């Protein structure tokens, strides 16, 4: 079976996998987690949201952004050398693609979406093992990607497979409104213009599982937050954290504002749950959103074309992926191990192969 449509229906291996999860100063203990993906999700959330060295940002905010990795010619990837004291927000790639799709297909869509917000209000961060893998494999530019695709097709290279300590974060922010927002309830930050932003949505994914662990959080006062399937942190709509979550908060020294964030749910396979999305990130297709099924489509064909995360009606894909989605006459599809950033943002550098040195991740958390 093609790797990109492999279905992880076997028993979840958190006890063995989490031991390989060094995402912060405090490594996660293997014996602490049974097979509950929501418990593992909260462990990841509390680990990456430990205060960074400045005492204000979280660890993940000092990781590289996608723009640091997928650079435009003639720049090459460089891991950021100083803390991210100010926000560098940009539009989400998926929002730009949604707007483009809706503009071109409005006449034939069954359901018309509200206009998609493509303002600069988002960011994508990747941890050092992820960054280092992409750079050392020369997969940050289309030259390297197409060379890898040809090598895979010829049997000279293996399919793209990220290391198990890879983590990526997608964050959605909105501007602070002092007339209605309680600042103490939000993780906040400022941009270079001094504008204060509030974190309203957070996607986190970890390669701790073969098809990654997917989890998404929202600030609890979001208007359109979907019903939660959390079985660990705030089960059955609880207003107080479970003892286990409270202990995680204490161990990781989380600031008070993180108590106002709720887990929408998590995924480790395509069917349970079948749907998973965030009202601030999957705006316009929340009812047909599945993190796993969507990201499973990340890749490029041998002619450098890709497939959409939307069907012909503008809906997302859910459930078990169809092998027919990854076939085309005269083309070979190269899956990118669920990482859309690589499929969407790698730039062309001309016929010359460009090589960049990977960072030393030894002391980077």
Query: Measured between alpha carbons, how far apart are the two ends of the chain, in Å?
Result: 36
Residues ≥6 apart with Cβ < 8 Å to 227: none
**What mean pLDDT comes out for the span 51-80?**
91
The C-alpha R_g of the chain, in whole angstroms, comes to 20
* pLDDT bucket at 205, cuts 50 / 70 / 90: very high
**What mean pLDDT comes out for the span 201-205?**
97
Check if the beta carbon of residue 176 is closer than 8 Å to that of residue 182: no
Helix axes 243-251, 37-48, angle to 10 degrees: 30
CB atoms within 10 A of CB 303: 11
pLDDT of 4: 28
Is the model's pLDDT at 285 over the cut of 90? no
Ramachandran region, residue 53 (left: φ > 0; alpha: ψ -120 to 50; beta: rest): alpha
CB atoms within 10 A of CB 55: 7
Chain-centroid distance, C-alpha 206: 8
pLDDT of 365: 80
- Between residues 61 and 97, which one has the greater pLDDT? 61
Is the model's pLDDT at 139 over the cut of 80? yes
Highest mean pLDDT among 12-21, 25-34, 292-301: 292-301
Q: What stretch of H or E contains 215?
A: strand 213-219
């Amino acid at each position: 079976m093609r790797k990109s449509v492999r279905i992880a229906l076997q028993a979840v291996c958190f006890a063995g996998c989490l031991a390989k999860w060094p995402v912060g100063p405090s490594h996660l203990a293997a014996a602490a987690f049974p097979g509950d993906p929501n418990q593992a999700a909260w462990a990841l959330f509390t680990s990456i949201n430990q205060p960074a060295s400045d005492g204000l940002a979280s660890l993940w905010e000092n990781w590289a952004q996608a723009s640091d990795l997928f650079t435009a010619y003639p720049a090459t990837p460089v891991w950021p050398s100083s803390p991210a004291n100010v926000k560098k927000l940009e539009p989400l790639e998926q929002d730009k693609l949604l707007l483009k799709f809706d503009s071109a297909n409005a006449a034939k869509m069954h359901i018309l979406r509200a206009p998609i917000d493509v303002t600069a209000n988002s960011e994508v961060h990747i941890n050092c093992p992820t960054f280092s893998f992409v750079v050392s494999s020369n997969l940050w530019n289309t030259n390297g990607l197409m060379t890898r695709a040809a090598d895979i097709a010829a049997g000279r290279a293996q399919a793209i497979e990220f290391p198990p300590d890879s983590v990526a974060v997608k964050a959605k922010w909105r501007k602070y409104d002092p007339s209605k927002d309680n600042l103490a309830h939000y993780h906040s930050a400022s941009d270079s213009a001094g504008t204060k932003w509030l974190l309203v949505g957070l996607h986190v994914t970890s390669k701790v599982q073969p098809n990654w662990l997917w989890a998404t959080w929202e600030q609890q006062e979001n208007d359109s937050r979907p019903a939660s399937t959390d079985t660990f942190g705030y089960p059955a709509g609880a207003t107080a954290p479970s003892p286990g979550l409270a202990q995680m908060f204490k161990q990781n020294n989380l600031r008070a504002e993180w108590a106002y964030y709720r887990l929408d749910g998590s995924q480790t396979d395509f069917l349970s749950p079948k749907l998973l999305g965030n009202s601030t990130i999957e705006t316009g297709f929340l009812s047909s959103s599945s993190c796993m099924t969507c990201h499973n489509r990340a890749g490029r064909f041998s002619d450098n074309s890709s497939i959409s995360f939307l069907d012909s009606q503008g809906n997302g894909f859910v459930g078990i992926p169809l092998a027919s989605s990854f076939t085309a006459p005269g083309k070979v599809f190269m899956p990118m191990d669920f990482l859309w950033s690589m499929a969407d943002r790698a730039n062309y550098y001309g016929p010359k192969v460009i090589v960049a040195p990977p960072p030393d991740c030894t002391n980077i958390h």
